[in-house]
Chains A and B, each alone.
Chain A
Amino acid sequence: MAQTKITRTSDLTFWQKLYIPEIIKGMKITIRQMFLPKFTRQYPEERWNPPASFRGRPVLVEENGKERCVACGLCSRVCPALAIEVQASETELNKERYPVKFEINMLRCIFCGLCEEACPEEAIVMSKEYELTFNNQEEAIFGKDKLLISKENLKERLEFLRQYR
C-alpha cells in the first residue's frame, strides 16, 4: 500500500490549535439562538394551514352530493406513479358516465398534481391534507368513500386553480 501524504492548504494558527477560542465562538451562536423568536410548532396540538398552492393528497370534488368526475381516465393515464384506478359505469344523470370505482393507492402517489392538471372536469384536486398514516397496504388504497370532499371545503384550491385557467 502506497502511503498518501495529506497536505493542508494552510496550517492551523496558534489560536486555532488552542481550540478554546473556537469553542467560545460556537457557543456564542448557540446562546444567541436561545433568545431569538422560535419557529418550532407544537405539532400535533398546533397544526399548519398550508397555502392554496400546497399539494396535499388528491381528492375528488363532490357537488350536490355527487362526484363531478366522469371517469374519463385521464388522471389515471397521466399518473406517472400509476396510483389511480378508475372504473366507469353508466348513470341516469346528464353526464352519462360516472366512476363506479375510483381508487388512489396512496403508497404510490407522489403528490405531483398531474392528475389535477389533466382533469377536464376540475373533479380531482390537490387538497391541503398532508397527514397520511396506514397500518397496512390495503388501508393505503383510498376509495370513493375517502376521496370525496364537498366543493365548499375545497374552495381555496378551486379558486387558486381558476387563476391559471
Chain B
Amino acid sequence: MVKIKINGNEYQADPSKTIIEAARENGISIPHFCWHPRLSVSGNCRMCLVEVEKSPKLVIACATKVADGMVINTKNERVEKAQNAVMEFILINHPLDCPICDEAGECKLQDYSYKYDKGVSRFEEEKVRKPKRVELGPNVMLDVERCIMCSRCVRFCDEIAGKPQLVFSNRGDHVELTTAPGEKLDTPYSMNVIELCPVGALTSRDFRFKARVWEMSSTESICRGCARGCNMNIWVRNNEILRLTPRLNPEVNDYWMCDNGRLNTFKYVNSDQRIKSPMITKDGEMVETSWEEGIAYLVHKIQNFKKNEIAGIGSPFATNEDNYVFAKFMKQIIGTPHVDFSRHIVEGEEDNLLIRNDKTPNTLGAFEAGVYPSEKGYNFQQILKAIESKELKCIYVLCDDIAVAPEVRDALSKVDFLIVHSPIKNTLTAIADIVFPTATYAEKNGTFTNFQGRVQRIRPAIATAEMDRSSDGMSLSRWDKFGAQNDKWTKGNKLDVRPTWRILSSIANTINPKFRYNSAEEIFNELSSTIDSFKGLSYLKIGSKGAFLNKKTINEKKSIKVS
C-alpha cells in the first residue's frame, strides 16, 4: 500500500492500481469514456486527464499507476480547462441527434456535456457525414456519425466475447467502426456493446424507438433464460415490458448478459397468447370460468381419484416458493409420493462466460424446495410410464410446457384428468382438462436458485388485476405516479392471473383450512425454517445481490444429478 493525495485528502492505495481505480475505490469519480473496469486500458478518449504534481503535463488517470507520495488534482482550473477542451473536441463531429437517439437520457456524452462542457463550440465548418442506420448484426444497430471512437465495443469483442468482430477503419476524422466485409456482429453476447457504448452509436434493434428511457420504470429481477440467473432490470411502460438490461453482480454475471436472455425471455409476458381466466374442458371444448368455480370443480374432480393415482410435476421455471407449496400440497394434502419435475438440459450450449446447458432458472431450487419423489415415489420418467400402464390417472403440472416433447404429449393425453398451471396457451394447455392462468416471473415476488446455489430475488414489474403499482410497492414511472384512472397510458393491460402459490393455497384451503399463505415472503420464511439448505435465509438477507444456500446440505444429496 502506498500513500496518495487526491484533491488534498490522503488515501491508501494499492500500487498496482491506476489513478482512476484508486479514486473510484475512494468514491471520487473521474470522467471517462473509453475506460471500463473489465476492459483493457486504451487511453484514447483523454477525458480522464488529471493533474499530478511534479509532472509537467496532465496525465490520463486510466493509464497512470499510483505511486507513493503522488499528489493528484482531479478538479482544479487546469484540469477543468482540459476537460472543456476534450469535450469540445469530441463534440466537433458528433451530430445533434439527441431528439431521435435512443441513448438520450442514459448517454455519457450527454451527461458530461452538462457537467464538463462550456456549451459553445468554435467549430464553424461542416461536420463529417458518415453512414447512419447500419445493421451491424442481428441485434445491434450502428450509427457511425455518433461514434466517438472510444473502442470499448472493439475491446469487448476481443477480450470478453472472444470474437474479434469489430474494428476501426480509415484515419483521422474519417475513422469508422465496422465489421470485416461480409462479417456480422453476431456473438451470443453482442448486445452488451449497447450498454458499453457511451454514446448512441450502438443501439438495440429490438428496442429501437420503442420508448424514451425516462418514460419507463425499472425493476430489479433475475433472467429466466438459463441456470446462471443473470441479474437484470426489467424496463416497463404502461404495464408492458420493453427491454431487459444487465445489472451488475460480480459473482454471477458481472456487467454482462447474453442476447438470448435479453430478447427471448420476456416477450411471452406481453404476448396475446396469455390465458385470461381459468379454463375447463367441457365436452371437448375449453370454456372460460371463474376462479371460484374452477377451484370448486378441481376439488370435486380430484376426490374421484385415489392418492396413488395422482402425480405432481413441478417446474424449474417456477420460484422456490411455488415449488415448495406445490411439493407440500402434493405430499401432505393429496398424499401422493409421485412428485418430480422435468429437466431442460441442452448439451453443448455451455461456454466460459455465462450461458449454461440447463435452460431453466431454478432446477436446483425446485429440487431443494422439495419437488422430488418421496419413498417409493416415481420420478419423471417413471410417472410417464405409469400413465401408459394406467396406474396414474390424474396429473398436476406446474408452469412448464413439457408437452412439446411428443412422447410426453402422447402420455399426458392418455391421462383421465390433467391439471395445468400456465401463463400462456401452449401444447400442454391444449390437452389439459383444467387450466389456471398463472403470473409470470415478472408479475410476482419470489426467489430462484441458480446453478451455484445462489438464491436470488425476483420482484413484480408488471401489475396483474389484483395488484396496484403504488400500494404494492412496485417501481413507478412518472406516468404511473401521476396518472389518473381514466388516462389511456395508465390503463395498460392487466390480466386476471395469480401466482401459483396463491392458486395452490386457495385449492388446499378448501380441503384443509390450516393450509393458507398470504405472501411469497411468508412461504419463504417457512421454507427457510423447515428446509436445512435454506436455513438462515430471508428476503432481507438475499437483498438485491442474492445469498448462498447452505452448501453442506446440497453436497450431501447425490440425487441432485439430473436424470
Q: Which A residues have a C-beta under 8 Å from some C-beta of B?
A: 70-74, 76-77, 82, 85, 88-90, 95-97, 103, 105, 120-121, 137, 141
Contacts and interface: CB of A to CB of B under 8 A. Distances in A.
Nearest to A101: B488
B479 A72 contact: no
Interface in B472-499: 478-479, 482-483, 486-489
A120 B214 contact: no
Contacts of B486: 137
A96 B212 contact: no
B482 A103 contact: no
Nearest to B100: A97
Given A88-B209, A90-B209, A96-B133, A73 B215 contact: yes
Contact of A72 (B132, B133, B212, B489): B212
Interface in B72-113: 98-100, 104
Contact of A71 (B208, B209, B478): B209
B104 A72 contact: yes
Contacts of B209: 71, 88-90, 97
Which 7 residue pairs spanning A and B have beta carbons closest together?
Answer: A72-B99, A97-B100, A73-B212, A88-B209, A120-B99, A70-B100, A70-B99
Contact of A141 (B215, B478, B488): B488
B104 A82 contact: no
Contacts of A120: 98-99
Contacts of A77: 212, 214-215, 478
B134 to A, nearest CB: 12
Contacts of B479: 82
A103 B100 contact: no
Interface of B: 98-100, 104, 132-133, 208-212, 214-215, 478-479, 482-483, 486-489
Contact of B208 (A74, A90, A95): A90
Given A71-B209, A82-B487, A96 B215 contact: no
A85 B489 contact: yes
A73 B209 CA distance: 11
A121 B97 CA distance: 11
Given A73-B215, A97-B100, 15 more contacts: A72-B98, A72-B100, A73-B212, A76-B215, A77-B214, A77-B215, A82-B479, A82-B482, A82-B483, A89-B209, A90-B208, A96-B100, A120-B98, A120-B99, A141-B488
A8 B562 CA distance: 98
A99 to B, nearest CB: 10
Contacts of B214: 73, 77
B100 A95 contact: yes
Contacts of A90: 208-209
Which one of B99, B478, B479, B483 has the greatest number of beta carbons of chain A within 10 Å? Answer: B99
Nearest to B215: A73
12 contacts: A70-B99, A70-B100, A72-B100, A73-B212, A77-B214, A77-B215, A82-B478, A88-B209, A96-B100, A96-B132, A97-B99, A120-B98
